[in-house]
Amino acid sequence: DAGVTQSPTHLIKTRGQQVTLRCSPKSGHDTVSWYQQALGQGPQFIFQYYEEEERQRGNFPDRFSGHQFPNYSSELNVNALLLGDSALYLCASSGGTSGSSEQYFGPGTRLTVT
């Protein structure tokens, strides 16, 4: 049983560009959350998707948007990239048939903005 998978592993973009990150949840999970982790800090919540809708959002600007597909996979889009967007982006899945309150994290996508 595959856990949470994310793609790509690493990404380098130029300031002002747009980026799309992808996440496939663990089998049986129906809820996906996205986090941003800057170097040396704990993960910060961006938003959460359930039933293809954004259910809650952290303190992030509208440049950060997302989507959840019928198969529960999700995308994180960031527009007009800033140097400060350089971070590890983590996807976490939970809920569904698992019946567990635990959130499972993927390995993350390392985004570097130059």
Interface residue list for other proteins (CB under 8 A): 4, 30-31, 33, 35, 41-45, 48, 50-51, 55-56, 58, 88, 90-92, 94-96, 101-108, 110
| Minimum CB distance to other proteins smaller for 28 or for 75 | 28
Q: How far is the CB of 11 from other proteins (least distance, A)?
A: 14
Q: How far apart are CA 38 and CA 36, in angstroms?
A: 7
Nearer to other proteins, 52 or 80 (CB): 52
User: If we measure between CA atoms, which residue out of 63, 39, 40, 58 comes closest to residue 112?
Assistant: 39
Residue 85 CB, shortest distance to other proteins, in Å, is 17
Q: Would you say 81 or 92 has its CB closer to other proteins?
A: 92
Q: Look at the block and give the residue holding tokens 């996979």.
A: 73
Q: How far apart are CA 72 and CA 40, in angstroms?
A: 30
